[in-house]
Amino acid sequence: MIVRFARSDPDVVPALQRALASMPRLVLVTQVAEARGPPIEQRTPFQELSACCGDWLDFLVLLDDGRSGGMWRDPMRELLEWLFQDAATASSAVGGYALVRAGRPVTWFRRQLFDPLEDAVSISQYLATLVPGLRVFERPRKVYSPPSAARRPSPARPTAAPLALGDPEADEVTPTIRQAGAPAAASPAPPPAPPDPYRVLGISPGATFEDARKAWRARIQQYHPDKVAQLAPEFRALAEEKTRELNDALAALARALGR
């Protein structure tokens, strides 16, 4: 079961607290951006965890709907501070998942920003230590397919009749024949095309600028410095790169749409 709450709701924190107190099973609490895309039930890791742990696990999801009412508030942090009674733990867990049972915190998991399948693996492995017989999610194995040995026959090259030594025509073509094996001058590679701003923001072509701004706001919060501060340096660098891509995409659409 997935229970959803909107971040923009001014009374969302008390509503989250009441929901957790009334849910008897294990509950995984997290927040997601309500950008255009598949339903939450079909997103990773919710789909995978529901398949392997759905008999013991429910989900409580805080949806960032991009509305101005939730822009300057952080209800997830408030909820986690209420649960863990510790601001440092809440700050570390705010970008991940908190596991709760009977209204009390059990543990929290760091979110793998670029590998959500790993979230399903680590969370199900921990749940297996609490629930005997629970099936742990396993990543699908990649099947190696060797490259085909068959090759197309190269087209036959036209042959010319051999020229006799001393023939004036042979003397004229000899320099050309000697230079035939020389490498041709490499032409400069064309500059890479800029990424499609609609694809970067996850919206369809023809969307309004307001749609673009909502998608930008929902996505860029995933890479906020506070949410990646505890990650390894390479992940923080990647989050900075994603932030630049999102900002560039929004600026490109603003120029294209005359905003």
Domain that holds residue 89: 2-130
Q: Region 42-64: what's the mean pLDDT?
A: 88
Q: Measured between alpha carbons, how far is residue 142 from residues 137, 139, 145 in Å?
A: 15, 9, 9
Residues 58 and 26: beta-carbon distance below 8 Å: yes
Q: So what's the pLDDT on residue 54?
A: 83
Top-confidence residue, 227 or 14: 14
- Bigger pLDDT: 23 vs 206: 23
* Residues 116, 6 within the same domain: yes
Q: Which of 61, 68, 2, 66 is nearest to 32 (CA)?
A: 61
Q: Which of 83, 115, 130 is the last residue of a domain?
A: 130
> If pLDDT is split at 50, 70 and 90, which confidence band does 168 have?
low
In a domain, residue 30? The reply is yes
CA dist., res. 245 & res. 201, Å (int): 9
Which segment of 71-75, 76-80, 81-85, 220-224 scores lowest on mean pLDDT?
A: 71-75
Question: Which residues, other chains included, contact 168 with Cβ-Cβ below 8 Å and sequence gap of 6+?
Answer: none
Residue 64 has pLDDT above 70, yes or no: yes
State the CATH number of the domain containing residue 252: 1.10.287.110
Mean residue pLDDT of the chain comes to: 78
Distance CA 224, CA 230 (A): 12
Q: Token pair 């030594």 is at which residue?
A: 165
Do 25 and 116 belong to one domain? yes
Mean pLDDT (whole number) for 53-81: 78
pLDDT band at 177 (very low <50, low <70, confident <90, very high): very low
pTM of model > 0.75: no
Tell whether 136 is covered by a domain.
Answer: no
Query: Does residue 203 sit in the same domain as residue 121?
Result: no
Domain-embedded: residue 43: yes
Residue 150 resides in a domain = no
- Say how many C-beta atoms besides its own lie within 10 A of residue 176's C-beta: 8
Q: Judge whether 110 and 96 are in contact, CB under 8 Å.
A: yes
217 vs 258, higher pLDDT: 217
- β-partners of residue 64 are 33
pLDDT at 101 over 60: yes
